Structure 1
Amino acid sequence: MTRSLIVIFTAIVLDAVGIGLIFPILPSLLKDITHAANVLPTIGAMTALYALMQFIFAPVLGALSDRLGRRPVLLISLAGAAVNYLFLAFAPNLTLLFIGRAIAGLTSANISVATAYITDISPEEKRARRFGLFNAMFGLGFIIGPVLGGVLGDHWLRLPFIAAAVLNGANLLLAVFILPESRPGSRETIDLAALNPLKPLRSVLEVKSLLPIVILFFIFSATGEAYGTCWALWGSDAFHWNGLSIGLSLGAFGVCQTFAQALLPGPAVKLLGERAAILVGVAGVSVALTVMAFAGQGWMIFAIMPVFTLGGIGVPALQSLATRQVDENSQGQFQGVLASAVSLASIVAPLGFSSLYFLFREEWPGAIWLSVVAVYALAVPLVLGLRPKAAERASTSRRRGAPENSSGDASGETADLTFRHPRA
């Protein structure tokens, strides 16, 4: 693994750690600050604010990275994250805590830039594997974050934020000294209108070939929110799990997902192709969720985890396929749009799944997982309708020794429509 990838993957881990470390301590922290008995509405508002800031600024940072280069945007976001966690560590009131969480959402929007950086330095045949590692690093962060927050929070509620600040500061220094620029910035003047986060979304609506990709990212991200929203409550209701059992089940899920995303996407895409790999991932998750819905004993959840891991190949394959849909000069902007779709899902999905859970909770808590399967089902016709011509022709040309152009399309064409020229 190159030094550049080490820095990028470390940044992704720290982004996920920052998201996860606040979950175990947030209720206690809010009670300590507000002295209120019911802090659930505040938790919901803070979670939505974090996702909203990601939604707004992911395309902005992505577009800026196309203009200024990836490296300066990544360095600024890492520096902002370190300062933000210090801000959260010493915020004396709720208003400043909300401001700090908003800044955290802004700096974590650098995921779109990191994705574009990986695209810049990765040949097409390595992208699926590296995007698998990308998601594995994010999963690793989600395993570390809650544990770090819980352990350090027992000593002092603000200590997890100080630890996160130190880690981000160390990664910033690492990036300053060893992270090269992957793509020089454009000399064009920055169009301020292009920084409007809604503008790239409107562009996507004009390019019919891109819309299914964006919707698929939204669906996959929305289904992922169901676990964080409902898992703990469902485990308690269905199996009378205590906190330790819930933590072990989530930890087992995170570990299996991390290993699956690190090891399986590359071979799966090579063997099946990207579209089939996505469908296999959907099928594996759907089978596991169906078993969870009807499970009568807790051990069955741990037994089904290996099947659950098949879902780990779907998103990396989709990410690899998505990179072929736009030209190289628009990767940052397009990845920003995809990150916005993810953030939008993280705003909407928890509200929807929590409402559904309480609707079925008394009669059948496991029904929530069938609702997730139903959402996954919406993705199947979209995946079947994808036209990965560039990928398929490039693969065919490499086997036959046919010449390719720079986009990897053996036909001499770029992907269906470029993001820069939606009406071409």
Structure 2
Amino acid sequence: MDPAPKTSASRSKAAFAFIFVTVMLDMLAFGIIIPVLPHLIVELSGGSIARAAVWSSAFGTVYMLMQFVFSPVQGTLSDRFGRRTVILISSFGLGVDFIVMALAPVVWLLFVGRIVSGICAASFSTANAYIADIVPKEKRAAAFGMLGAAFAVGFIVGPALGGLLGHYSIRLPFWVAATLSLINFCYGFFVLPESLQPEQRAKRFDWRHANPFGALVLLRRYPQVFALAAVFFLINLAQFTLNSTYVLYTDYRFGWGADAVGYSLALVGLCSGIVQAVLVRRLMPKLGERRLIMIGLPLCVLGYLFFALSPVAWLFLVGIPFLCLGGLAGPPAQALMSQQVDPHEQGRLQGALTSLASLAGIFGPAIFANLFALFISDHAPIHLPGIAFVLAALLLVIATFIASHAIRHVHAVQVTAQPSTASQPCDYSPVADVVTHESLPPHHQPESSP
């Protein structure tokens, strides 16, 4: 047996493992500082909770704004210079930034650190582009699902570990986060191969493509991608109901304290991890991307309605599995979009998608939090504490209709544009993206990597 394919498959598995670990450690590093960052802001603000609240709001906004601006920049840089360089620089930058935040003597320096964190965290888009490079198109939904599981692991473990470390020192979680990021950099420096071959890279770096609005023009060039990107945006926008109202809503409706909220969010993370890591991978070969999308979105609608309308706490908890099963829709949608785009534009695509998610993060919390405040106030047109979750359900109903139209069109294009192919083995292999557009010039056709 020829040893070359085994070596290639082994390198690909090591690369995928690194990307998984990168996302998990980055999420873990960010999760660790969640419980202590507000307290550090209070300390550096002279003990004023009111002043700290203003700073905290600014921290959250600037973090999402940096992701919105720099995700397409990093995506375009990775299309031009390769994924490995961008990912490693971002990991190193995060490590240094967490050290600066750990040592920050004044709140404005902590604020600058949060800006740098937002810029470096934009490398998530490059990680997604890396997956699109090395994973065959029919297995990308499962691969994106595994990255979702990495997010879930960080979401479960990070805040709990940060709270534990914060008991010893309010700055200790920042040092641990820095250590994780720098270990990740060292690991990647010696293990991570480049996924985008020189002949597949963009010929030059174009600032028109690197700004967030220019990156979104890419979506308009591919009508099917544009429609699925709208679905992606609505899913992310709806999810910010959890960030902005979950804690206050459960306190208002059920009298939950910090412990009950923590346990319930851990359940959310656990269910999400199972869906992303297990169910997506097992159901994809049986149902395909389109069916998973059309199953996941209605289940997520049902979950939000459970959250909005449940009169008792146990019924609210029943909604968590339905909400998490909505995660069946995200990875297939992302996989379908990656299949429509040329290999040297994968970074731009993932950067544009990350910018859309960041845009949802800029506006979503304000919309949902203010709606919640209005509908529990004396001036409410109707007393409906769950109004934010009702709106989230409505957004996903709209997303379902858009997805239904988009995936029918994608199916028609793929049936017309490409012949049937036998399914490939389950091993991930570092092959180039398979493009379904027959009109592409010869140098854009699929190639095997060394």
Does TM-score exceed 0.5, indicating one fold?
yes
8 Å contact from structure 1 (residues 252, 302) kept in 2: no
The one-letter code sitting in structure 2 at the alignment partner of 1:88 is M
8 Å contact from structure 1 (residues 289, 373) kept in 2: yes
Secondary structure in structure 1 of the residue aligned to 2:322: helix
Secondary structure in structure 2 of the residue aligned to 1:190: coil
Which residue of structure 1 lines up, in the alignment, with residue 77 of structure 2? 64
Distance 1:23 1:96 in 2: 18
Asked whether 1:367 is paired with 2:377, we answer no
- After superposition, what is the alpha-carbon deviation per residue over 1:20-74, rounded to whole angstroms, capped at 9, x for unaligned? 3333223211110012231222211100100111111111111111110111111
Which residue of structure 2 lines up, in the alignment, with residue 242 of structure 1? 257
Q: 1:319 to 1:28 in 2, by over 3 A?
A: same
Which residue of structure 1 lines up, in the alignment, with residue 292 of structure 2? 277
The one-letter code sitting in structure 2 at the alignment partner of 1:397 is S
8 Å contact from structure 1 (residues 264, 312) kept in 2: no
The one-letter code sitting in structure 2 at the alignment partner of 1:367 is I
8 Å contact from structure 2 (residues 233, 356) kept in 1: yes
Asked whether 1:384 is paired with 2:396, we answer no
Distance 1:406 1:115 in 2: 13
- After superposition, what is the alpha-carbon deviation per residue over 1:162-215, rounded to whole angstroms, capped at 9, x for unaligned? 000001111111101111111134373433444333322234345544321222
Which residue of structure 1 lines up, in the alignment, with residue 27 of structure 2? 16
Distance 1:388 1:266 in 2: 21
- Give the aligned CA root-mean-square deviation in angstroms: 2.3
Structure 1 residues not aligned, in runs of 5+? 419-424
Which residue of structure 1 lines up, in the alignment, with residue 206 of structure 2? 191
2:161 to 148, 162, 179: 148
- TM-score of the pair, normalised by structure 2: 0.86
The one-letter code sitting in structure 2 at the alignment partner of 1:398 is T
How many pairs were matched up? 411
Which residue of structure 1 lines up, in the alignment, with residue 188 of structure 2? 175
How far did residue 399 of structure 1 move?
Answer: 5.8
Secondary structure in structure 2 of the residue aligned to 1:24: coil
- After superposition, what is the alpha-carbon deviation per residue over 1:75-113, rounded to whole angstroms, capped at 9, x for unaligned? 101100100100110111111011000000001000111
1:124 to 107, 113, 137: 137
Asked whether 1:407 is paired with 2:434, we answer yes
Q: Using the TM superposition, name which of 356-365 and 239-248 deviates more.
A: 356-365
8 Å contact from structure 1 (residues 391, 408) kept in 2: no
Secondary structure in structure 1 of the residue aligned to 2:168: coil
Q: 1:277 to 1:81 in 2, by over 3 A?
A: same
Distance 2:16 2:311 in 1: 43
8 Å contact from structure 1 (residues 21, 149) kept in 2: yes
Structure 2 residues not aligned, in runs of 5+? 1-11, 378-382, 425-431, 445-450
The one-letter code sitting in structure 2 at the alignment partner of 1:304 is G
Q: Using the TM superposition, name which of 205-214 and 134-143 deviates more.
A: 205-214
Q: 1:360 to 1:69 in 2, by over 3 A?
A: same
Secondary structure in structure 1 of the residue aligned to 2:128: helix
Asked whether 1:317 is paired with 2:326, we answer no
Q: Using the TM superposition, name which of 382-391 and 234-243 deviates more.
A: 382-391
How far did residue 408 of structure 1 move?
Answer: 5.6
Distance 2:287 2:55 in 1: 46
Secondary structure in structure 1 of the residue aligned to 2:35: helix
1:37 to 49, 54, 60: 49
How far did residue 393 of structure 1 move?
Answer: 6.2
Q: Using the TM superposition, name which of 276-285 and 198-207 deviates more.
A: 198-207
8 Å contact from structure 2 (residues 254, 313) kept in 1: yes
Q: 1:87 to 1:232 in 2, by over 3 A?
A: same
Which residue of structure 2 lines up, in the alignment, with residue 397 of structure 1? 420
Distance 1:209 1:309 in 2: 26
The one-letter code sitting in structure 2 at the alignment partner of 1:14 is L
Which residue of structure 1 lines up, in the alignment, with residue 308 of structure 2? 293
- TM-score of the pair, normalised by structure 1: 0.91
Which residue of structure 1 lines up, in the alignment, with residue 110 of structure 2? 97
